[in-house]
Structure 1
């Protein structure tokens, strides 16, 4: 996170009508982490417990959220639920927050992106912040299995989510609409992650699955040809017998829509629509 990107992002927040208070560790560094774990956790705990703070908008993604989950005061967070905004590595925080609090977790642009209007879908962000529902069009070509299903939206970044399995921070998958997105991972790694989800039993009982941006990394030279990502998705999700749609405009891509993790989701492929609300079902 550079001071320049932070300044552009906070200026955008101010233009949106928010009063911005910067976290003490927002520009901190500790190797590849944005500050020491205890400092980052203390910073976030102070925000979650402050009644004057109504939302926490995360500066950027990357790595490090999982390291502080056990240091956070979830009881305090549950007493005064906030709006939490971010994506990618914030998958870990949102998974725990939706289980232990009534926080509104919005999977959308981080502060570092707010200075670039092309990086996110402004209308979906505004509607989610206002507590309004949004409709995403699902073209027929994006449907792998037709059907109608509803439930809380869970998920986020595939890598982060897969590494929560077997911990107290994994989300509740049963009867949920699962959303997955990923970027920059080799196809064989995507295969491994999806197989991990399957073998863990996490997919047993999900209501539906929707996939956002899924751009694999650069293929290594002198390596056997990659398999299509869509083929991997079909192998894992088609046997489940639930509605499946791909190509949701969310994740690591320009113009990303904001999605409500923990909010109500209704996938209706015959109507070609995914309806999302920040309100829990």
Structure 2
């Protein structure tokens, strides 16, 4: 089920399903809102999106009310999270999936928000979007990085096939403290592009998520099907090689690698600490031993910028050969 495409003048609703960072960094949030307005959209914020109740942005009922309000509001054409956190999966038990199915609209975020994206996709078959969030990306000095902006427009504002996904020319992981010293663009470095761990060809629907967040759904009715999927995984800078190894081992032991057609890993922040002695490549080779699906890493998504928008449930193809490099293409539109 595809949501309607966004058009200039449409209203975007902002919610905080998890972390209360908007409470602590109001200027960053306001800058993200201004970036959307400068793109030609109207913006409304959830009643509790700037609140804090302990470690979450309001109570569970507060966060549910905000989300359901945005779903019910006929003027709201897209819902974008302020940021991730740790607890968005709390909403999954209480969401009104019939309401979501009868009012299909764009729902986007990344990191912890992928619990909602995956769960909603599993329960309704609605295309959901792993992509930029209000504070980390729209709240950048100057708004969205151009590469992210073009992916946003191409994926959410056009009802034609998305097509070939190129790598960005530059990327950044520089940390600037929000509302303190984020008054300039972040420094970037050249991007060497997507890299091949295992060559091959794959075709299937995209399933994109944060590794640790996706595994929170194991054993629940909110875990999506992996059959034939091109699985796109990322994780944040607080992880380390040992925890990433733990996640991909669990994915293996759950039988997920028996089902997928291909694997794409988003670019990791250097704080994760991969090195020659403890490398991502060796870790992935070990976890996927015995499988021959193509594996790509250092793609433009995750906890570095810029990032592409990845639509869950949309058909894609992946060709990875030493001769031609990586060709990753999204073969249909994500919106109608």
2 CA distance for matches of 1:265 and 1:141?
16
Q: Which runs of 5+ in 1 are unaligned?
A: 220-224
User: Which residue pairs with 1:130 in the alignment?
Assistant: 157
**Deviations 1:80-128, CA, capped at 9 Å, x for gaps:** 1110121111110111122223533221111112132339621111101
1 CA distance for matches of 2:314 and 2:262?
14
Please state how far the C-alpha of 1:180 moved relative to its aligned partner.
Answer: 0.6
User: Which residue pairs with 2:79 in the alignment?
Assistant: 56
TM-score normalised to structure 1 length: 0.90
**Deviations 1:120-152, CA, capped at 9 Å, x for gaps:** 621111101124404224789711222221111
CA RMSD of aligned residues (A): 2.2
2 CA distance for matches of 1:120 and 1:24?
31
Q: Which runs of 5+ in 2 are unaligned?
A: 1-21, 168-191
Q: Is the CA contact 1:109–1:120 (under 8 Å) kept in the aligned structure 2?
A: no
User: Which residue pairs with 2:232 in the alignment?
Assistant: 179
Match of 2:139 among 115, 118, 121: 115
User: Which residue pairs with 2:196 in the alignment?
Assistant: 143
SS at match of 2:37: helix
Alignment of 1:110-259 (within 5 A): 110-112=133-135, 113-116=137-140, 117-118=144-145, 121-131=148-158, 132=160, 133-137=162-166, 142-183=195-236, 184-215=238-269, 217=271, 227-259=278-310
TM-score normalised to structure 2 length: 0.76
Alignment of 1:258-277 (within 5 A): 258-270=309-321, 272-276=326-330, 277=332
2 CA distance for matches of 1:226 and 1:162?
27
Q: Is the CA contact 1:106–1:128 (under 8 Å) kept in the aligned structure 2?
A: no
2 CA distance for matches of 1:176 and 1:218?
26
Query: Per the alignment, do residues 16 and 26 of structure 1 end up closer, same or farther by CA in structure 2, a change over 3 Å counting?
Result: same
Q: Is the CA contact 2:130–2:208 (under 8 Å) kept in the aligned structure 1?
A: no
State which drifts further: 188-197 or 136-145: 136-145
The size of the alignment, in residue pairs, is 275
User: Which residue pairs with 2:88 in the alignment?
Assistant: 65
Q: Is the CA contact 1:150–1:265 (under 8 Å) kept in the aligned structure 2?
A: yes
2 CA distance for matches of 1:234 and 1:91?
25
